Chains A and B, each alone.
Chain A
Amino acid sequence: AQSVTQPDIHITVSEGASLELRCNYSYGATPYLFWYVQSPGQGLQLLLKYFSGDTLVQGIKGFEAEFKRSQSSFNLRKPSVHWSDAAEYFCAVGAGGGADGLTFGKGTHLIIQP
């Protein structure tokens, strides 16, 4: 069975500082990996996804993530966070890209300090 672990429940970062959110997955085959952001009252928004190819993936809002098969990781990074980045972030894995239901991590709550 596939699973996703986000080890950090909460992360606090100062505005303008860099950010890295951790994600580890367990999956038997080549995984389809996603990062979503959830803001209060809004639906989940896709930040980026990895299906194949270049292991460094660029997403929206200045986010990027790197797929490391040897570490079963897909960490999300941003060089300089903005107050508007405060939200809940979910890492997810799927068997067939978006064609199958996704398995989500428990999420990381990002707090931005002024």
Chain B
Amino acid sequence: GAVVSQHPSWVICKSGTSVKIECRSLDFQATTMFWYRQFPKQSLMLMATSNEGSKATYEQGVEKDKFLINHASLTLSTLTVTSAHPEDSSFYICSGQKNNEQFFGPGTRLTVL
């Protein structure tokens, strides 16, 4: 298999602040990583596709200026939620692609007060 980690596992922040979430592929190189968002008792919704060394591709309805994605290396992608508001509170999950399969991180629980 392949292991993906996320940091932090949970974070609480004040409204208006920015929060950075890291997604790392620990034992493989991921040219492509994906970011999903999961609301309580809901499905995972694809937010964006992150490609190493290039700009992320955002899904329709996802604000690229609010959810900044950087994929600076083959093992690290970051998601920064800028000027967070309570409606951004959610569970954010990343995945790394290897051999035509996605390996998921454990997720990051964001709570915005």
Which residues of chain A have a CB within 8 Å of any CB of chain B? 36, 41-46, 49, 51, 90, 96-107
Contacts and interface: CB of A to CB of B under 8 A. Distances in A.
A106 B46 contact: no
Provide the main secondary structure of the chain B interface: strand
A101 to B, nearest CB: 4
B101 A90 contact: no
Given A42-B106, A97-B101, A98-B100, 20 more contacts: A43-B4, A43-B103, A43-B104, A43-B105, A43-B106, A44-B44, A45-B104, A46-B101, A46-B102, A96-B100, A98-B97, A98-B99, A101-B34, A101-B49, A104-B36, A104-B44, A104-B45, A105-B43, A106-B42, A107-B43
B102 A102 contact: yes
Contact of B93 (A43, A45, A100, A103): A43
Contacts of B106: 41-43
Q: Give the interface size bracket for B toward A.
A: 20 to 34
